[in-house]
Amino acid sequence: MAAPSSYLLATLAERLGPKGFTRGAADLDPWLTDWRGRWQGEAAAMLSPASTEEVAFAVRLCADAGVPLVPQGGNTSMVGGATPDESGEALLLSLRRMNRILSVDAETNLAVCEAGVILAALHEAALAEGRRFPLTLGAKGSATIGGLVSTNAGGTQVLRHGTMRRLVAGIEAVLPDGTVFDGLAALKKDNRGYDLTQLLIGAEGTLGVVTAASLKLVPAIGARAVAWIGVADPAAAMKLLRHLEATQREAIESFELVPRNALDLVLAHVPGTRPPLAEPAPWNVLVEAVAPMAMPGPEPLLYDGLGSAHAAGLILDATIAASEAQAEEFWRLRDSISEAERRDGPAVKHDISVAAADMPRFVVEGGAAVEARFPGTGIIAFGHLGDGNIHFNVRAPEGAGPEWVESEGIAVSRLVHDLVTAAGGSISAEHGIGQMKVAELARLGGAARIGALRAIKQALDPRGIMNPGKLVPALDASQDRLAESRPPQ
């Protein structure tokens, strides 16, 4: 790979115009650091094309010259996936100007969006047509469709609607040689060989640049019921989920596990929050049940389901939000966990999955193993229990500063990832690999997976210009040291 020549920069500047090309430090700076502040990169310029043709032009030029490109949407990656390296050779490729919602069709239940559309804007546009795009997450105010597609984003409605893989009907993308893959048509059946759309979903910008997507919509919500439930342990929570699945007519959208230590952090650090139950429970579950318009609301059925769960000894206590405001309060308790943790002090974060049925045991036994090996630490295990995906964070011992993460973080993560791998799980359930986990993927991914990742990358991007250093472990392991030297936080 090479730094861009002044000729290349001048050609791009001329084609993209002043809105599409900048080298100004003030314009670039906010986009050179990831939002967690863990990664700081450099770039020779930022390209902000306004059309697919402009993206293709830029990619073709960079492919010929061997100049690296780092695609970027809302810059909300949890794993440094959209931050360039420190060499300053790369060009940032911002998709944020391509922010048109091209159509929202209530008859076909499809929306077509350019890559830079912000998730919350799509939510609003769908709602205006009586429809809903059923994927949401904390960063919905800045995360873009292109980034969500490229990272196969998850969130709190995966239980019912799946990750982006299930919600994308088609995509348009510029491949690393500058050709345009036009797969936007929402074909239900298409057997023209390898599924390029699915290959590009979750590819983290390493196989091309997603420029637009056709997305599946569902009917807008008519009513919802949100409950906060106390349970004895994660095993009881899982039994409760099975009980609700059997009694709620597929209405359960979210089933989020919140341990008492996470709730206590939120109550301590987030102003205006209050305990949802009279007696604190060791573990909690936030449940949301929904019904589309013109259907009976979900509350009576949820009330009955929780009543029978209580009679069966599955739950300790429960309360159903009496108003939308209270429902929002419950969600705020859940959504503030990461923020409260950050305010509380250093922790090493993980985003893991095992088979959903095995997760209750993993949380308890894996947690005990980590706490025994690193005395004074405490596990905060929260999140998407119904998906078998838990954010398994390890809090530093009392009084330890950020240097604890620097000295112990890698060893802690290795232990957690070893335990997950031994349990047949994944070291990255929803946040992706980015640059943060590439060394761990190399260590634990297995020869077949890593070999195939490298072969696909080499075939589609032989010069390695697309988002280098992310996702695909380098052949020379020392190239991945960057990731190793920066423990997760």
Instruction: List contacts with ligand MLT (CB under 6 A).
Output: 138, 338, 349, 383, 391
Binding partner of residue 338 among Zn ion, ligand MLT, none, CB under 5 to 8 Å per kind? ligand MLT
> Least distance (Å) from ligand MLT to the CB of residue 284?
15
> Least distance (Å) from ligand MLT to the CB of residue 157?
11
> Between 367 and 386, how does the x/- string for binding to Zn ion read (CB under 5 A)?
----------------x---
HEC sequence for 211-276: EEEEEECEECEEEEEEEEEEECCHHHHHHHHHHHHHHCCCCEEEEEEEEHHHHHHHHHHCCCCCCC
Whichever of 298 and 383 has its CB closer to ligand MLT, that residue is: 383
Binding partner of residue 349 among ligand MLT, Zn ion, none, CB under 5 to 8 Å per kind? ligand MLT
Instruction: Tell the burial category of 464 from Cβ atoms under 10 Å away from its Cβ (0-12, 13-18, 19+).
Output: middle
Binding partner of residue 176 among ligand MLT, Zn ion, none, CB under 5 to 8 Å per kind? none
Binding partner of residue 486 among Zn ion, ligand MLT, none, CB under 5 to 8 Å per kind? none
What does the alpha-carbon distance between residue 174 and residue 63 come to, in Å, rounded to a whole number? 12
Given a contact cutoff of 8 angstroms between Cβ atoms, the answer to whether 263 and 359 are in contact is: no
Whichever of 170 and 383 has its CB closer to Zn ion, that residue is: 383
Whichever of 51 and 273 has its CB closer to ligand MLT, that residue is: 273
> Least distance (Å) from ligand MLT to the CB of residue 154?
7
Length of the chain: 489
**Could you tell me the two tokens for 130?**
């009586």
Number of Cβ within 10 Å of residue 418's Cβ equals 15
> Between 416 and 435, how does the x/- string for binding to Zn ion read (CB under 5 A)?
--------------------
Distance (Å) of CA 340 to CA 123, 335, 344, 462, 467? 26, 10, 6, 43, 32
Q: Could you tell me how many residues of this chain bind Zn ion (CB under 5 A)?
A: 1
> Least distance (Å) from Zn ion to the CB of residue 472?
24
* Pairing between β-strand 131-132 and β-strand 101-105 as defined by DSSP bridges: unpaired
> Least distance (Å) from Zn ion to the CB of residue 380?
13
> Least distance (Å) from ligand MLT to the CB of residue 329?
17
**Could you tell me the two tokens for 393?**
């964070």
What does the alpha-carbon distance between residue 334 and residue 263 come to, in Å, rounded to a whole number? 8
> Least distance (Å) from ligand MLT to the CB of residue 103?
30
Binding partner of residue 224 among Zn ion, ligand MLT, none, CB under 5 to 8 Å per kind? none
Whichever of 8 and 396 has its CB closer to ligand MLT, that residue is: 396
Whichever of 209 and 405 has its CB closer to ligand MLT, that residue is: 405
Residues 153-170: b if buried by 16+ CB within 10 A, e if exposed: bbbbbbbbbbbbeebbbb
> Least distance (Å) from ligand MLT to the CB of residue 473?
23
* Dihedral sign for Cα atoms in the order 308, 314, 317, 320: negative
Instruction: Tell the burial category of 294 from Cβ atoms under 10 Å away from its Cβ (0-12, 13-18, 19+).
Output: exposed
Position with the least CB separation from ligand MLT: 338
Assign 351 to helix, strand or coil. strand
Assign 88 to helix, strand or coil. coil
Whichever of 174 and 340 has its CB closer to ligand MLT, that residue is: 340
Whichever of 63 and 266 has its CB closer to ligand MLT, that residue is: 266
Whichever of 383 and 386 has its CB closer to Zn ion, that residue is: 383
Binding partner of residue 138 among Zn ion, ligand MLT, none, CB under 5 to 8 Å per kind? ligand MLT
Interface residues with Zn ion (CB under 5 A)?
A: 383
